[in-house]
Homo-oligomer: A and B are copies of this chain.
């Protein structure tokens, strides 16, 4: 299991539109066989900052995710909303075990 945390900072005027687009992407992404979770959080002390908590079932799943139409739609929709380039950090899952997701 592979956890990817994507950190996104958006323009203040784009907060609500970013949420809408990201919710749509999250719901569609959860239907992918390779994706166990796709949670979205908004930073409490900086509402322009978001984290996408993506949990993939294997090492190939992130690449397959990026080939989907919902990912491409999200990427294109939010491109003009970004205040800075997105950053991502990859983690190997220590807990829970594979059957706990």
Contact = CB atoms under 8 A, between A and B. Distances in A.
A38 B23 CA distance: 22
B43 A90 contact: yes
B26 A90 contact: no
A51 B4 CA distance: 11
- How often does this chain occur in the complex, in copies? 2
A3 B91 contact: no
Interface in A21-57: 22-23, 26-27, 38-45, 50-51, 53, 55
A87 interface: no
User: Contact residue range for chain A?
Assistant: 20 to 34
Contacts of A95: 22-23, 26-27, 38-40
Interface in A81-95: 89-95
A44 B91 contact: yes
A19 interface: yes
* A-B pairs, 8 with minimum CB distance: A41-B91, A40-B95, A40-B94, A44-B90, A3-B41, A26-B95, A42-B92, A42-B94
